[in-house]
Chain A
Amino acid sequence: MNELRNRFASSALLSDRKVTQLMGFTLMVLLIFSYLSSDIFFTPENFTSMAFQVPEIAILSIAVMLSMLTGGIDLSIVATSNLAALLAAYILTKNMSEDGEITNLWILMACLAGILLGLICGGINALLIAVLNITPILATLATLTLFNGIAIGLTNGVSISGLPEQFTRVGNGTFFGVPTPFVLMVFIALLVGLMINRSSLGLKIFLIGTNRKAAQYSVMGDKRVIAWTYVISGLLSSFAGLIIASRMSAASPDFGNSYILLAIVIVVLGGVNPMGGFGTVTGVVLATIVLQMVASGFNALRFNQFFYLAAQGGVLVLVMILNVVLENRRRSKSVNKSLES
């Protein structure tokens, strides 16, 4: 039995081969751009700038990952994050003095209000998907339009800017030299990682994403678990929204529309199975970093922005082909293995 346990421990490390692959890939991209543009790309300034840009999209991607692990998807993340950011920005600007002073209590209230709104948005998705059994892609497409519409309607499409300095300090500050948003992202990624790997809710998410029917026969409370993933997705979206508002010193109803697709790209690139059941937080964070490096690298090399989009797509196509090839190889190997045993 001890032997069995040891085998389990050693292979658990190997089982995240996708993460190892991604690490290698990240290193490769890093080396290529550092070589091609050591004067601009391989500089502390550039790394700091990347560390400011990665967190928001990484957190949104982690939100998408959660729903994708259960075999669903959440398209309303950006709409939710904008809505949360707008509410917080509205409270902040209403309660600050003319010279931009505001009490810490109001900042806290504004953030809590934004987070609460994120939870409510996630709750609406949970209701539609877990209770009313509406297909996730349709339900969240509907709420995406709904949340977006509310945001545009209430603001007349105008963004709220000029947020108090005490609030924007967080999004633009550093913590022991590391950009604060990046620290927050690491913290959130750790929490979500712990949740999906070390809690019963998390393990249930993987199992439900693998086979919902078997989950029902194993009495897992599948509806409750799925509801929670969308609520948490809403919560994470609101975090992203607050970080964006703090960094940009503004909240806009149509900020980051391209982020939805980008988040899906990242999640798939990060090795999450779009059918559900498999994926890691580390993979998603690494994938975000890879894409950000490609973007910065292209900037540093003064390549055409349009060309960058194509490169991003090209990376995704390459990774998917690689995934399929590796999966096939692994499968034929495991078939042979099972025949041997």
Chain B
Amino acid sequence: MLATQTAEYSVKDIVKSFGGAKALAGVSMSVSSEEVHCLAGENGSGKSTLIKIMSGVHAPDSGLITLAGKEFAHLSPRQAVNEGVQVIFQDFSLLPNLTVAENIALPTNILKSSKIVGKRETRKIAEEALGYIGVDIDINSPLVETSIASKQLIAIARATNLGVKMLFMDEPTTALTRKEVNKLFEVVDQLRKRGVAIVFVSHKIDEIQEICNTITVLRNGEVVAEGLMSKFKAKEIATAMTGSEIATSRIAPPLGKDSRSLLELEKLTSKNTFDDVSFSISEGEIIGLTGLLGSGRTELAEAIFGKYPVDAGCIKVDGKEVTLNSPEAALASGIGYVPPDRLTQGLFLEQSILRNIVAVGLDRQRSRWGAISKSKLAKIGSSWISELRIKTKNPINPVSSLSGGNQQRVVLAKWLSINPKVMILNGPTVGVDVGSKREILEIIRDRAQAGMAFLLVSDDIPELVQICHKVLVIRHGKISKEFNDKQISESAIYKELN
């Protein structure tokens, strides 16, 4: 099924341009079997282009691809698969309405050109593949009902079935909890021991250090650092990626002594999701909320935004008790919410950056007769574009033309533009590169200093440690632990989570 002796998979001096812009300017990288190689770099550094060249999606302008001794000037996708190159993309490219077994066996059946597919055969293929990577998932359940972590493992199983010799994993841990990451790492390690060359693409430096043996860092289409993982310190990797030093220590903005409390939850309860949750956030305070997937953290955040039903308890905004049974009510009380999925919940992708920024505040811009002045909207849009340093040539461009970090800033601008008292941020830095992340955290800090109260729901523990005054851990719908200013540390929070 897999390669048995050490093999080299490499690219040499790869150049690739798109319409005059160089995405890759002579990149070389080498990965051998039984090795987990980290490919790091910010968005737009050329990681995706490199993956696409090695998997046959793009043909390079020049350069050489060598797969286990065979040399190619360029690959077709079919050739890449035949040579054992597999990619697990962030969206997994699985089929939601098929069962787990069908998803795993489908590509195998297609490659064999089977016209008729037997259920028993399908199940056998799936069971073997899952057994091979040592994972236990109900193969008969429909894919939609499986967790993101399981989908990740199912995608790996599917790849092993196709005789994978080199596996690209594109930010595989983005949506996983620490526990699930541990399981994933076990599987990755097992694949490595069985002779698969693995390329692990990630932004998360602590995870890279944990799982990878070697590293290549790209910046602006060039290799800026490479070598054995053990030679690099976390800070050096971050510096290589961004080209500048990044502070990782705690910098929570100072709190006023007698700041009033802006949001108070008292024994907030929603049947079967969260129970007896009480906490308060005062002016300028940033409170972190973390928990595993399914712990009730997103439901709690959406309940405060009026999007999830509450059965008991009460919410006070700025001292007044409010009924938040709809987002309209939440908005009227001064609560804003940045949802977790930027692409489907946060943005109007094909619409202009400008229209996205003014989306929430539209009604407030109405003059008499209900008219809206275009120049006024343009003014508001441009002022937020410069305020949050959104990188764009023209605010009329569709928001889909922006990079992930800039898109997230547009979502932030949309809410900041109406100046809410309380901002709830759900995973504001997911899928955002290191540099953008730092700037987004800075924006949050600045606003907090100006008096806005923040609830930061996140999986990213280092980020919580960096800017929160207090971190709450939610478990099975209950606040299981509260870390105060002095108690906050990554290790303590990880320990509480697992």
**Which chain A residues have a beta carbon within 8 Å of chain B's beta carbons?**
1, 4-5, 7-9, 11-12, 15, 194, 197-201, 203-204, 206-207, 210-211, 213-221, 277-278, 333-341
Interface residues of B (CB under 8 A from A): 18-21, 23, 44, 307, 327-328, 330-331, 337, 339, 344-351, 354-355, 358-360, 362-363, 365-366, 370-375, 378-379, 381-383, 385-386, 391-398, 401-402, 414
A340/B19 in contact, CB under 8 A: yes
**Residues in B neighbouring A5, C-beta threshold 8 A:** 375, 378-379, 382
Give Cα A192–Cα B292 distance, bound, in whole angstroms: 49
Q: Which 3 A-B pairs have the closest CB atoms?
A: A336-B19, A340-B21, A4-B382
A218-B360 in contact given A5-B375, A210-B349, A210-B350 (Cβ < 8 Å):
yes
Is B382 touching A8 in the complex (CB atoms < 8 A)? yes
**Can you report 13 A-B residue pairs in the complex whose CB atoms are below 8 A from each other?**
A4-B378, A8-B354, A11-B396, A200-B365, A203-B358, A211-B348, A214-B346, A215-B359, A217-B327, A217-B346, A220-B360, A220-B362, A338-B402
Give Cα A198–Cα B346 distance, bound, in whole angstroms.
23
Is A339's CB under 8 angstroms from B396's CB?
no
Inter-chain contact A8/B396, CB cutoff 8 Å: yes
Q: Is the CB of B401 within 8 A of A334?
A: yes
In the complex, chain A residues whose CB is within 8 Å of the CB of B19 = 333, 336-337, 339-340
User: A8-B395, A198-B371, A339-B18 are known contacts. Are A203 and B362 too (CB-CB below 8 A)?
Assistant: yes
* Inter-subunit contact A203/B327 (CB<8 Å): no
Q: Are A219 and B328 in contact (CB under 8 A)?
A: yes
Q: In the docked arrangement, what's the CA distance between A216 and B378, Å?
A: 23
With A213-B345, A214-B345, A278-B350 in contact, do A206 and B355 touch (Cβ < 8 Å)? yes
CA of A200 to CA of B373, assembled, Å: 10
Q: By the criterion CB–CB under 8 Å, are B355 and A200 in contact?
A: no
A206 vs B356: C-alpha distance in the bound complex, in angstroms? 11
A200 near B414 (CB under 8 angstroms)?
Answer: no
Central interface residue in B23, B346, B378, B402, by most chain A CB within 10 Å:
B378
Q: Say whether A277 contacts B350, CB under 8 Å.
A: yes
User: Are B346 and A335 in contact, CB atoms less than 8 angstroms apart?
Assistant: no
Q: Which of B346, B355, B397 contacts A207 (CB 8 A)?
A: B355
Least CB distance, A100 to chain B, in whole angstroms: 41
Tell me which residues across on chain A come within 8 A of B359, comparing CB atoms: 207, 214-215, 218, 220
Q: Check if A214 sits within 8 Å of B344, measured CB to CB.
A: yes
User: Nearest-CB distance from B427 to chain A (Å)?
Assistant: 13
Enumerate chain B residues within 8 angstroms of A200, measured Cβ to Cβ: 362-363, 365-366, 370, 372
**B372 A219 Cβ-Cβ under 8 A:** no
Residue of A nearest to B418 (CB): A219
Residues of A within 8 A of B382 (CB): 1, 4-5, 8
Is B18 a contact of A335 with CB atoms below 8 Å? yes
The minimal Cβ–Cβ distance linking A43 to chain B, given in whole angstroms, is 41
How far is the CB of A12 from the nearest CB of chain B, in Å?
A: 6
Name 7 extra pairs, CB < 8 A, besides A198-B373, A217-B339, A340-B18.
Answer: A4-B378, A210-B349, A217-B307, A333-B19, A335-B18, A340-B19, A341-B393
Q: Is the CB of A199 within 8 A of B372?
A: yes
Residues on the A chain within 8 Å of B330, using CB:
219
